[in-house]
Structure 1
Amino acid sequence: MNAGINKALIIGGGFAGMTAAARLARQGVEVDLLEIDPGWRSYGAGISLHGSTLRVLKELGLLDRFMEEGFASDGVQMRGPDDRILVTLPTPRVAGPDVPGGGGIMRPALAKILQEEVVAAGVKVRLGATFSTIEDREDGVWVDIGDGSPEHYDLAIGADGLYSRVRATLFPEAPKPRFIGQSVWRAVLPRSAEITTVTMWLGSKLKVGINGVSTDKAYLFLTEDKEVNDFVAPDTFVETLRALLRQFPSPIIQTIADQLSEENHVIYRPLEQMLMPRPWRKGRVALIGDAVHATTPHLAAGACIGIEDAMVLAQEVGNAATVHEALAAFEARRWERCRMVVENSGRLADIEIHGGSREEHAAIMGASMKTLAEVI
């Protein structure tokens, strides 16, 4: 059926955009994918994935590739700053009884898996390209991709991230990204035999975590409170992160601090958040992923809900009689789940910044993980 859609345009070649492009193409839709980066690169260190994301990768036929490249485990272990275990949160095996409840992978590795799927599905990928105008009309979406000759599409999807140009063009009154008063440090480490699952240490004002991303690598993340979003010079990254790690008496963390160097690819990023109220669509144009619900990493669910968006949208396109029915059904299925992730992640940040209850922090994480494990 495909809701009468013969040709679709995806703007943005990140995780959500690639998933949407591949899935729609597999359903028989002719798909163009615009990606502004001519190298189609994915930046960053590791990324944590929920079982719900593994469920989507399984549905895409990509779970085996993930298991080859990444790392999967069960549970999330919460510790005090001195290694004392406070609680272990369960992560249900939603992708199947033989698939662990969560995992991690290097961002470039996951991007490569999805890129190969996009190409194999027959998507026309246009790198170093974006749009100059996009207009929803009664007969479809007309998009000028730079040569002055608008092209016609039955559906357009804005998957162009936190600072989405599609959102700014069609929804100029939409809320802008907001700095939440925290930043995150990330680094790539050798994977220690002591760390068998996602492990977090909760300090008085800092939180540090480690997750495996392959058979021999892990990635470290540390959230730091910041009153203002000021510039941090890259040549200070290693020493600054080392000093922050020194605040944890944990022998595991102290060993990491001792060994930290430029070889660990330290990355710093201020944390921003944005949840756009409904509607997420205008005519035949819809927004997905960070373009509409950018979340902080406190639930490790940003990529998860973006990839889910893509799958749900493709499902509704396959089920509906018209584009408008498909987009309305997509939005109805996604709003509450994505709102929960953005708002609960924000509440976790508030608790960490203002020294709130660790019991509430653990309860929110547990409830959120339970919700994410539910059928999409």
Structure 2
Amino acid sequence: MTSSVNKVLIVGGGFTGMSTAILLSKQGIEVHLVELDEKWKTDGAGITVSGPSLRAIEQIGLIDEFRRHGAICQNVDMLTADGTFLRQIVTPAVPGSSITGGGGIMRPVLAGILAEKVQQSGVHVHLGCTYESLTEQEDGIKALLTDGSEHVFDMILAADGVFSKTREQYFDGAPVPQYTGQVVWRAVVERHGLERPALFYGSNGKLGFTPVSSTHMYLNYTEQRPQKSRIADDELLPYLQNLIAPFTAPVIEAVKAELSESSSILARPLEGMIMPRPWFKGRILLMGDAVHATTPHLASGAGMGHEDAVVIADEIASGGTVEEIFTRFENRRWPRCSMIVNNSRRLGEIEQTGGSKVEHIQVMALTMSALMAPI
């Protein structure tokens, strides 16, 4: 089948946009990427990357860089708040890949790896820039960019994030992300001998650690907070210290001693949304958090964006009209993305209401098993 795609505009230079740019450039497509942040900077602490998400990173061609700069570990330990071992969750080999286990990496480090690859791929990167207008015409879609340039593209791939401008402007009645009643706390600390990811269960919630390099790991704690509110920067350290005070395992005591005013501590309200189909309008397709923003309960948020990139590149290579390509993309992505968003939301609800631990384990296990299937 002949491809109808020779020139593409990607809106947003985050994980989804950069991954898509890399894969499309390999097909010889002329790729333009616009990113509002002129410094192309990614904030944040570490991220947990599931085995299926690592498979997508491998398909993009970046698994070697991930291994060098991040951490890939097998299995997850479950312990009580005082460090008593409960059980170990086995992380199986991921079909269709070389991956066994899961990973972690600093978010800015992964962004840097992707950005370097984008630049090496010959992508036209427009920093400090977005589109002024998008106009459908017979031979494509005309984009007037804020740098004054004007181009005609075969398609627009909008990966402009959870608060997508494109979704708001071009998709009437589209939902907006909703606060879920939880806040996730993150901080980067030394590993203190931790060999693999670990979850410590206390009376006030669970405290997790994920290695993100050979020397460091990131702490994550999910707080139940019914009303969305901001905590002042100078209150972050004492607030986090109070949250983790009931946890007394030796590694946690070492982390407590390490935390200081100079520690990078982040508290982010959790929001989620799955947009009903269709995800495209004419020659404009929404991707990544713009269309399926999820909470981190299944460690698949960034991974869904990487998978989007793999699937859209695959469908473009398969040929057909723009509408046919977008329809096939949707058909492949809708079941998987809606499952992740909805099941992540359910896990949060169980945690907030003190619901069934058995259901929580079942939702986790069934979802992770389903994600092992091919993308």
Shorter-chain TM range is over 0.9
Provide, for residues 167-215 of structure 1, a one-character-per-residue CA deviation record: whole Å limited to 9, x for no partner: 111113111110000001100011122x222211233332210000001
C-alpha contact (below 8 Å) 1:143/1:150 kept by paired residues:
yes
Query: Where do residues 35-50 of structure 1 align in structure 2 (5 Å cutoff)?
Result: 35-50=35-50
C-alpha contact (below 8 Å) 2:95/2:372 kept by paired residues:
no
Give SS of 2:3's match: helix
Task: Could you tell me which runs of 5 or more consecutive residues in structure 2 were left unpaired when the two chains were aligned.
Answer: none
1:298 maps to what in 2? 297
TM-score (norm 1): 0.95
Q: Tell me which amino acid in the other structure corresponds to 2:355.
A: G
Q: Distance in 2 between matches of 1:257 and 1:158?
A: 42
Task: Could you tell me which runs of 5 or more consecutive residues in structure 1 were left unpaired when the two chains were aligned.
Answer: none
Distance 1:107 1:148, change over 3 A: closer
Provide, for residues 199-258 of structure 1, a one-character-per-residue CA deviation record: whole Å limited to 9, x for no partner: 112333322100000010100111101111112101111111011010223333233223
Deviates further, 114-123 or 93-102: 93-102
TM-score (norm 2): 0.96
1:261 maps to what in 2? 260
Q: Tell me which amino acid in the other structure corresponds to 2:231.
A: V
1:222 maps to what in 2? 221
Q: Tell me which amino acid in the other structure corresponds to 2:99.
A: V
Say how many residue pairs are matched.
375
Q: Distance in 1 between matches of 2:342 and 2:330?
A: 17
C-alpha contact (below 8 Å) 1:281/1:327 kept by paired residues:
yes
Q: Distance in 2 between matches of 1:241 and 1:258?
A: 13
Q: Distance in 2 between matches of 1:2 and 1:115?
A: 30
C-alpha contact (below 8 Å) 1:36/1:127 kept by paired residues:
yes
Give SS of 2:272's match: strand
1:127 maps to what in 2? 127
Q: Distance in 2 between matches of 1:247 and 1:2?
A: 62
2:344 maps to what in 1? 345
Q: Distance in 2 between matches of 1:291 and 1:105?
A: 23
Distance 1:148 1:119, change over 3 A: closer
Provide, for residues 255-306 of structure 1, a one-character-per-residue CA deviation record: whole Å limited to 9, x for no partner: 3223211333111111111110111111111011000000001111000011
Deviates further, 325-334 or 203-212: 203-212
C-alpha contact (below 8 Å) 1:89/1:366 kept by paired residues:
no
1:278 maps to what in 2? 277
C-alpha contact (below 8 Å) 2:189/2:258 kept by paired residues:
no
Q: Tell me which amino acid in the other structure corresponds to 1:368.
A: T
1:83 Cα deviation (Å)? 2.4
Q: Tell me which amino acid in the other structure corresponds to 2:16.
A: A
2:10 maps to what in 1? 10
Q: Distance in 2 between matches of 1:163 and 1:202?
A: 33
Q: Distance in 2 between matches of 1:144 and 1:209?
A: 46
Provide, for residues 107-160 of structure 1, a one-character-per-residue CA deviation record: whole Å limited to 9, x for no partner: 111111111111111100000001122233443222221256642110100101
C-alpha contact (below 8 Å) 1:188/1:265 kept by paired residues:
yes
1:369 maps to what in 2? 368
Distance 1:249 1:147, change over 3 A: closer
1:234 maps to what in 2? 233
Deviates further, 142-151 or 304-313: 142-151
Q: Tell me which amino acid in the other structure corresponds to 1:152.
A: V
Calculate the aligned-residue CA RMSD, in Å: 1.6
1:54 Cα deviation (Å)? 1.8
C-alpha contact (below 8 Å) 1:136/1:282 kept by paired residues:
no
Distance 1:129 1:78, change over 3 A: same
Mapped pair 1:187 → 2:168: no
Instruction: Give percent identity, aligned residues only.
Output: 45
Q: Tell me which amino acid in the other structure corresponds to 1:23.
A: L
Give SS of 1:54's match: helix
